[in-house]
Structure 1
Amino acid sequence: MYKYSTVTAVSDIAAAARRMPLVGILGWQDVRQRYRRSALGPLWLTISMGVMIATIGIVFGSLFNSPMTEFLPSLASGIILWGFISTVISEGCTSFIASDAIIRQLPIPLFVHVLRMAWRNVIILGHNLLILPIVFIAVGKSVHPVLFVSILGFALLVVNLLWMALILGAACARFRDLSQIVGSVLQVIFYLTPIMWLPQSLPAKVSAYLLDFNPAYHLLEIVRAPLLGHPPSAMNWTISGALAIAGWTVAVLFYGRFRRRIAYWL
């Protein structure tokens, strides 16, 4: 039984991967529909995020007595990436619920709706990344060739976010209050992760526990570190990779077990 359900889950995920053109169209349509009749479209999010980064950078940089050339690029990249991570996870909770009409009417792989949600947020992330060059120019920070390593880190980050969204999407279809709990947990993780503060500002003993055992930090760092000009550590890669393997193993088993029930839960 478990073997059959696992094969079914893998088949659904593989079938969804073959529907990437459909995923692309649906994702673009979501963005266009969300910002329909808006003069700047998703750039409004970019502008508001840029203002927030500038404000937080000035205030917290002064409070922590951190050099702006180091603090502001770290803050900007951290907030932009965390916005992507938290949005994918929170919208992953409603990825099936928001597509209930399509699920009931069209026999397409359910994982398509998770990919659609992720692609939509990748598009929005692309707009928000326009802030980084402005920040780098403002503080006089140069670009290092290690920057391209962030592409590999981003791919691994997305792989991890997809299994999280898949599990949460199925679980929240059954238990609707779970999405509220996820939102609260994300807020706690935000403050425990070095986004609004620098890792080196912590004492060594506190840093060893707060950073080494924080998966969100490692997932963030495999993308942010290359953007800031230094490669991620071996621990960052190891934990992120192990998280992807373990997470997808659990996700396939979980999705295979409950995939057929999702349409009845909606």
Structure 2
Amino acid sequence: MNTTQPRAGDRETILDLFPLSGWGRFKAAFVDLREGLRLLPLAMTLGWLDIKMRYRGSVLGPFWLTITTAVMVIALGFLYAELFGIVLKTYLPFLALSLVLWGYISTLITESTTVFSQETRLIQSARRPFSVFAIQAIIRNLLVLAHNAVVVLVVFLIFDIVPLKIWLILPALGLWIIDSLAITLCLGLFGARFRDIPPIVGSLLQVFFFVTPVIWKPELVGTLGGWLLIDPFYPLLAIIRAPLLGETLPLVIWEAALAHSAVLIVLAAVFFARFRARIAYWV
């Protein structure tokens, strides 16, 4: 029998077998998020490795996505500019920027539904903060967004568009990062618990692509434009799109974006704190 007593300087690990309740769950969720941010270099490395492994053996690598985006912008740009009766110089920069931003949103939301379920082995083999997997997915999609941004840059150069107030997108980018983390954690939980979530989310994104001003301008709906504020994607697109295109952004759009984000953050905090401890069992 080992009768060795712990020394004064030793750290003792205490395993609490009782589930946390009340504010204890929120505290544990906060610690998880803090530790995930502390492992940001690891998440960045894993996100970059995901890109490399996805296009391993490819000559152009992730630039295939850039080429695909460029072809779509050119094809849809000439077609819809003629259908909507809009000058190409005005419509093509709008479309290029919208498709690139929507590509980030739709891909991140789609991947967030499996952000935990596809990491079953890592989650069950070692103890690490769950938020690091969400951060890894965000880093991966930000890298893809950076590749596709080349299309927007080329279109802006062709039509001589110079954003004079580019600094206005900085708070918008900050809000995008916060929302990205919230939606990834929230949908990651639901996707781990209910395997029907990925196809449901994919179907809803297809609907939102057409009802959100991505390939069409919000001015085309006239007096019905106020109803667009109910769409959670429209304000998020507008707060980045308007400054880059040199357009004036009404304050009500920022208010709508902050309202949608507040609801999303609260839901993500509640669900992540409530069900975080069950992720390892669900996957």
Which of 174, 198, 201 is the matching residue for 1:179?
198
**Match of residue 260 from structure 1:** 277
CA gap 1:232/1:159 in 2 versus in 1, 3 angstroms: farther
Cα distance in 2 for partners of 1:149, 1:72 equals 22
Q: Could you list the per-position Cα deviations for residues 108-128 of structure 1 after superposition, in whole angstroms to 9, with x for gaps in the alignment?
A: 100100000010000010000
* Deviation by residue 1:168-212 (Cα, 9 ceiling, x = unmatched): 1011101001111111111111111111111111121x2121x12
1:60-139 matches, within 5 Å, as 60-138=80-158
Task: Quote the Cα distance in structure 2 between the aligned partners of 1:11 and 1:233.
Answer: 38
2:211 aligns with 192
The whole-number CA distance in structure 2 between the counterparts of 1:164 and 1:14 is: 17
**1:3 matched to 2:23:** yes
Alignment-mate amino acid for residue 255 of structure 1: F
2:226 corresponds to which letter in structure 1? Answer: A
What is the CA distance between 1:215 and its match in structure 2? 1.6
What displacement does 1:133 show? 1.9
C-alpha displacement of 1:106 = 1.7
Q: Contact conserved, 1:12 with 1:109, CA < 8 A, in 2?
A: yes
Answer yes or no: is 1:226 the counterpart of 2:246. Answer: no
- 1:33-69 CA-to-partner distances (Å, cap 9, x unmatched) read 1111111110010001100110000111111111111
- Residue of 160, 165, 185 corresponding to 1:141: 160
Query: Which one of 193, 198, 203 corresponds to residue 222 of structure 2?
Result: 203
Offset, 1:154: 1.8
Inter-partner Cα distance in structure 1 for 2:256 and 2:181? 17
TM-score, normalised with respect to structure 1 = 0.95
Q: Report the aligned-residue RMSD.
A: 1.2
Where 1:99 maps in the other structure, the secondary structure is helix
Partners of 1:44 and 1:19 lie apart in 2 by 30
Deviates further, 88-97 or 227-236: 227-236
**Alignment-derived partner of residue 164 in structure 1:** 183
Give the 3-state SS of the residue equivalent to 2:188 in structure 1: helix
Consecutive unaligned residues of structure 2, counting only runs of 5 or more, are 1-20
Output the CA distance in 1 between the equivalents of 2:101 and 2:238. Answer: 10
Offset, 1:231: 4.5
Instruction: Please identify the structure whose Cα radius of gyration is greater.
Output: 2
Query: Which of structures 1 and 2 has the larger relative contact order (alpha carbons within 8 angstroms, sep 6+)?
Result: 1
Q: How many Å separate the matches in 2 of 1:2 and 1:52? A: 50
Residues of 1 paired with 2:90 and 2:271: CA distance? 42
Provide the secondary structure at the position in 2 that maps to 1:232. Answer: coil
Q: What does residue 37 of structure 1 align with?
A: 57
Q: Which residue of 2 aligns with 1:251?
A: 268
The percent identity for this pair of structures is: 37
Asked whether the equivalents of residues 229 and 256 of structure 2 are also in contact (C-alpha less than 8 Å), the reply is no
TM-score, normalization by structure 2: 0.90
